[in-house]
Structure 1
C-alpha cells in the first residue's frame, strides 16, 4: 500500500490507559482481558485503531513507563496469551493495535541496568549514560529531571553518576551505543511479528544527548509556578541533530513489515517538530501534534494554530491532531462541558489523523485528587503547582453500578463523583449526548470521505466564530464553530455557506436548509454540506 492510501491517514486512533479501562480480575486495576471485554464499545464508537499505554513487565514506579522486560507482559495486566487474544479480537473486530514503546529509558530493575551497575567494566556499562562527578563531587552538569531535582543519580558502588531524564528509577539508555539500538530494534520486531500494527514512541526527542554534556542554558521566561525543570532550556539534553538518524532507523524497522505506523511523542516548537517527519519523509509517519492541548480556546488563536501547522508541513507529510492524553488535563475541564462538544467537532473535521483519549467521548472531566490519594510520582516530587496527572487517568465510567462498572474492588484511583449519570450506558440512551455526538461525527467522517482526505481551506470570520472548509471528491463541507456562549448569525449570501446541515453539535438540526443566514446558538457547531 502506498503511503497516500495508508490506513493510518484515514483512521481514527483511540488511546487506552490500561490501568483505568476495565478490571476483569477484581484487583482494582484494569487489564488486558478487561480491554477485550470492552472492544464492542470501541467498535460501536467507530474508531479504527487503539493505542495502549505500556503493559510490559514493570515495577510500576511510573506506572509502566519504567520497563523491566520489553518482551514480557506484566502480571498486573495479564499474560502473553491474553495479549495474543487481544490482538486477535481487535483484528477480528476491524481494529488496529498500537503499542507504547519506551526506548529512552528502562527500569532500574531491568537486567541490563542491574548488570551495568555491577562494575565500570561490565559489558552493559555503556548501555547507559555514566559520568564522573564534577570537581566538587556533585553532578556532572546542570541537567534537571522532568520529575524534579537533578537528572543525575550517584551510584556509590561504582563512584559515578547515571543520567535519568525522569525518575531515578528510570535510567536513560545510551542511544549512541549501536548495541542499544540493535536491542530495541529487535524488541520492535518481536511485537511486530506478533501482529501489532505499529508503535507510539515515548519521548522520542530525548533519545540522543549532547556528546560533550554541556550545561543547559537558563530559561529567561521561567517563573516559579512552573515545574522546576523548566528553569533551564533542554538545549543539550534533548532534540539533538543525531536523533533523526535513530528515528529513520526505527522507521526502517517498521517498514520491514506491511502497513505499520510509527508515531512519535514530541513536545517541541513547530519548526522543530516538523523535522521528525525525517528526510524525504523517512522519519515518523505521525509526529504527534499537541498544539490543541494548550491552545487558548479562542477562534482566532485556533485559526492561527491550524494555519501555522498546515503551512509548516513538509510536502507530502500528513497532519494529525490530539485533544487529550494521559499526561494533560481533560479537554472537558479545559474548555467546559458545552465547548467539549465543539472541540469534538473540531478534532474530527480538521484535516489529518485524529486521536481520542479514553473517556473524552463521554465528557469525562479532570478529577480532583486528595493529597492522601495521589499516585503520580510527578505530583509527589513536585507538589503544589498542579502538575499531577492522576486526574486525567481515573477509571472509565461504564455504568451507574458501583465504581462505575470498572471494578468490583477498590479502584486504584478514585472514580469521578458524577459517574452515576455520566457513563456509557446512560449516555448511549440519551440521543443528544456527547457520546452520541462522537458516534455521529465518526459516522459522518466515514460517510463523507472528504473529511478524511479533502483539502483544508480557512474562511474569514470574526469574534469567536471559527469557519473552514473541507473540499474534495466533488463535495464541499463547511464547518462553523461558535466558541462563545452567545448566539451568532452569519449572512450566507455570497459566502459559500449555503447548503444543508449534516450535523449539529446538539444533534437536532440534521437536514436543515441554510440559505440567507446561518444562526448558531452559543457553544454550537455545525457541518454544512453541498456539491462542489
Structure 2
C-alpha cells in the first residue's frame, strides 16, 4: 500500500544498543525489555481490615499480576516508617513495617511471584533515613563533632548564638532544608524535616548500604529502584552559597544535585550487583538534565535510569518523537535500554493529564493548578483522557526498552483531586499549607470490586477516601468486558511478548500529528494524535480504540498495531 504524505523521508533505523552489555534476550538481560508494575503497598490490597495495604494483600493478588502479564513488580517502600512521607522516611532499611507484614511475607511474595516468572524489584532510599532511625536517635544523643553525628549532615548555625540556619536553602517539600536540634546545631533535610540526609562522605554509610543491598538480594530480590539517585553526593564546603546563587549553578557544580562523585557510589554498588547470577538490576530515579542521565545508566553504574521526559510532554506527536529519539540514542550510547514511564506515585495520572487542555503535563504548573481547584477548573474530559492514555500506553509498549506501569493505570484510573483536607497525608501539601496540592490523588487505594467496603481494597475502609466513581473503574467491573482498559493491557502485554524482537526501530513516513514506527519482523505501531491516518500494512493485532470495519483509517487519539508476517 502507498505510504501517507509526509514532510520527511523514511528515517534510517535507530541504532541498536551497543556497548559492554551481553546481547539482548538472555535471562541475564531480562530487564532490557521488561514490563515492570509499580505497587504502592499501602494502596494496593489490605488483608487485615486496618485500611492500609500490606504484603499479604499483595500476595493474594499475585494471580491478578500473572494474568496481567508483567515481568516484574517494583515494590515502593514497605519498611518501618512513621509515614511522614508515604514510607520514604525509613526507620530501618532491612526490616518490614509490622503494619504491612514480616520478612517471612517478603520471602513468600518472592516465591509466589517467581512461580509465575515474575521478579521482585524493591525501592532503596539511600539519601536519607527517618528521624526515628537508630542512627539519628544516636546522633541527637551525641555531642557536636561526634562520630554519630558524622553519619548525617550537621552544621552550626549563623548569627547570634547560631540561631539562623547555615544557609537559606528551601526544601522542595516546603520550608527550609535545615532543622535545629536542642543543642543548637542544624541538620540538612532535602525533603521533610523527618527525613535527615545521610552523609555519603562517611565510609560507614557506604558500608551499611552495601550490607542492605546484599541483605535483600540474598532473600531473592532481583533488583532495586534507587530513590533520588542524583542527591547522594554533596559538597558542603564553606562558604555555603545562597539559595539564589545555588539556583544558577550548572550540573556537576551544584552542591546538592547530580554531582559527578555520586557515580563513585554506584560503581561500588555495581561490583556488588555483579556478584550475583544473574546480576542484580538497578534503575535510578535521577531528575537530571537528559544529557547527564546516561552516566546513571552506564554499565559501571546502575545500568538503567528513569526517562521521565514524557511526564512533562504535551499530547503532541513532535514532542513524543523528540523524546523517543533522544532516549533511544542515549540508550545506544550507553549500551543500556531506555525506560518508558507515563505515571507513577509522584505525578498526576496520565489518563487525567491527557484529558486536560492540551494534555497538561503532570509536573506542570497547569497540572498543579487543576489540583488546587479540586478538579473544578479546567474541565476534565474524562473519556478523552482515557482514550489518549490507552493510545500512549500501546505506543510505549511498542518501543525498544522496558516499560514501567503504575498500579491502577491498567484500569484507566483518573486522579482523585477532591480529597478532604483532613484526609491528606503528603508532606508537600502539609508543609506548604496547601500551596502545593501534593501527590495523594494518585495514591488512593485501588478499587477491586464495583461496590462494598472500600471497593474490595479492604473490609475496614481505606486510608485515603475513594470516590464513588471508582466502582465503575474497578477490576470487577472490567472483567469479562473485551473493550475495557484492563482487557487492552492484558492483550497488549501478551501480544508484545509474542512479537517483540531485537532493539531496532525504524520511523516510517507519516502525516503531521501521526507517529509510525516499524519493528523487526514487520511489526508496525501507528499512533494518531490530532489527526487520522491510513492503517499500516498487515493484519491488525490490536487497537486502542474501535476501528471502522469498512475503512482502513485510524481515528484520532488511537494507536494500532499491525503485523505483516503470517
TM-score (norm 1): 0.90
Counterpart contact for 1:49–1:96, Cα < 8 Å: yes
C-alpha contact 1:216 1:234 (8 A) present in aligned 2: no
Structure 1 spans left out of the alignment, 5+ residues: 223-229
**CA distance, structure 2, for counterparts of residue 133 and residue 117 of structure 1:** 16
Aligned to 2:104: 81
Equivalent of 1:21 in 44, 48, 53: 44
Equivalence for 1:262: 282
Q: Match of 1:501, SS?
A: strand
Distance 1:470 1:385 in 2: 45
What is the 5 A alignment of 1:39-438? 39-118=62-141, 119-135=143-159, 137=162, 138-157=164-183, 159-212=184-237, 214-215=240-241, 218=244, 235-259=254-278, 260-278=280-298, 281-313=299-331, 314-335=333-354, 336-368=385-417, 369-402=419-452, 403-438=454-489
Residue 234 of structure 1 and its aligned partner are, at CA, apart by 9.0
Q: Secondary structure at the match of 1:199?
A: strand
CA distances 1:472-517 after superposition (whole Å, capped 9, x unpaired): xxx1212111122x5x133x7xxxx4222221113668xx89xxx8
* Matched-pair contact (CA < 8 Å) for 2:235–2:256: yes
Using CA pairs under 8 Å that are at least 6 residues apart, name the structure with larger relative contact order, 1 or 2. Answer: 2
Partner of 1:470 in structure 2?
519
SS of the residue corresponding to residue 397 of structure 2 reads helix
Match of 2:528 among 482, 487, 491: 482
Q: Is the 8 A contact 1:18 1:32 kept in 2?
A: yes
Output the CA distance in 1 between the equivalents of 2:247 and 2:181. Answer: 34
For residue 94 of structure 2, give the secondary structure of its aligned residue in structure 1: strand
CA-based RMSD:
2.4
- Note the alpha carbon deviations across 1:283-305, whole angstroms, 9 max, x for none: 11210111111111111111111
**Aligned equivalents of 2:57 and 2:46: distance in 1?**
5
Aligned 8 A contact 1:115 1:122 in 2: no
Distance 1:233 1:454 in 2: 32
Q: How far is the alpha carbon of 1:315 from its aligned partner?
A: 4.1
Question: Does 2:550 match 1:499?
Answer: no
Contact 2:246 2:254 in 1 (8 A): no
Runs of 4+ in 1 over 6 A off after TM superposition: 219-222
CA shift digits 1:247-281 (9 cap, x unpaired):
11122222221222111111112001112123xx2
Residue 390 to residue 219, structure 1, CA distance change in 2 (3 Å): farther
Structure ranking higher in strand proportion: 1
Equivalent pair of 1:437/1:507 in contact (CA under 8 Å): no
Gaps of 5+ in 2: 1-20, 355-384
